[in-house]
Structure 1
């Protein structure tokens, strides 16, 4: 084979590989923007109109703070895949209004926490006066929160489980799941239990499914829901509030 022919074959091969890479990137970008589950209008409006809550929407995340400035502890919450971050505001709002916590709901790159390499500090810096930070997340956001947990004071999983080993971390951990969750099923959560510290607290909410942790409507593959939004929010507020009071 001549040198000139070898160069042509190399250029042709590199051209094909380059085209495949560009096509793959374009496909991911398009897929990440299609089918994003929006926040339901009613619950969102209730949060935005609540005089007890001050909301700031930034490019990095949504910051919900007690209007009286009393939030000295905070939760960084990472949304599930392709869910509008605002869809979690209502379920977390009583933590702000009643428990006086600051809540930062991140805006994952490409709507997928898996592709978001930013450290926890990028989100805690949105509320610089808060000293104690717990990280948590829903679904894929919970998996990502496990990866960030060593930089936090605690971890809360919402319908999720870890993929990395935190069993020897010494972190306080709360895992909240839905008995009817068809995606992060009770079986999947039990199978990943060994990745959490021995003293991690696991709580299963009866009647809750995967979508019960937010307000974005039904989700394909999910189980039935029999708990009301009001009761679900009250359960989350109680469980998370007690976790912060430890």
Structure 2
């Protein structure tokens, strides 16, 4: 049998290197596929909470593909305020999980809310511009941005846009410095939040404008800002979902009303 390798064995070494590279490539492909699958396993919204908003005659719910738009209907007791909020969900949380908690400001203040559907269900992968979502509600005159948890971190980045009038944080805090920004800021935290703890929110306070409104909702945990059940690592809420919604609505109406 003839030996096709060179005297120094280079073809054989080249074959081993090729096999190793192919193995590494295959492992990377498996990791990428596994990661994408993981991002699609979201914390689902509570069906009854979302259904309540769908059946509310004062609130219009429209899925526009990359976002869900909540707007006052002709049956609403208040007229459209001209204010709008682009809201970014927390990591791997179904956007529909925020319908009920955000519908109160639509009912009571006539605001429009655009809940985004982040790329891969993770806000930091979503680099689409603010205009991608404001285009879904062209009648809005004044835009605010906001988000829950990781969604709030992304909202802080979008708040650097000169077109943004204000920022809303649900159990979140900024990684970028907005302390000198001309923004109306509302930060809502939960006293029993085990993820964005009151201590973490307080430590990041320096990155917000001096006149930012900081509200801690007693008895609320991280999941109290949506309707999607228990979240790993969270504290235990000692108030009901209805009580949390009332507190959230009250503060949002003050800002957007």
Q: TM-score, normalised by structure 2?
A: 0.88
The worse-fitting range, judged by mean Cα deviation, of 103-112 and 191-200 is 191-200
2:47 corresponding residue in structure 1: 41
Bigger-Rg structure (1/2): 2
Note the C-alpha offset of 1:193.
Answer: 1.3
Call closer, same or farther: CA 1:17–1:164 in 2, change over 3 Å: farther
1:214 paired to 2:219: no
Of residues 6, 24, 30, the one that matches 2:31 is 24
1:96 paired to 2:103: no
Structure 1: gaps spanning 5 or more residues: none
Of residues 203, 220, 244, the one that matches 1:232 is 244
Call closer, same or farther: CA 1:241–1:18 in 2, change over 3 Å: same
CA contact (8 A) 1:139 1:159 kept: yes
Of residues 86, 89, 93, the one that matches 1:79 is 89
**Count of residues in Structure 1 that have an aligned counterpart in Structure 2:** 244
CA contact (8 A) 1:65 1:71 kept: no
2:59 corresponding residue in structure 1: 53
Note the C-alpha offset of 1:119.
Answer: 1.2
Call closer, same or farther: CA 1:233–1:13 in 2, change over 3 Å: same
Call closer, same or farther: CA 1:16–1:75 in 2, change over 3 Å: same
Note the C-alpha offset of 1:131.
Answer: 1.7
CA contact (8 A) 1:70 1:100 kept: yes
2:3 corresponding residue in structure 1: none
Cα RMSD for the two superposed structures = 1.8
- CA deviation digits over 1:30-63, x for unaligned, max 9? 11112x1111122111100001011101221100
Note the C-alpha offset of 1:118.
Answer: 0.8
Is the partner of 2:159 in helix, strand or coil?
helix
CA contact (8 A) 2:109 2:253 kept: yes
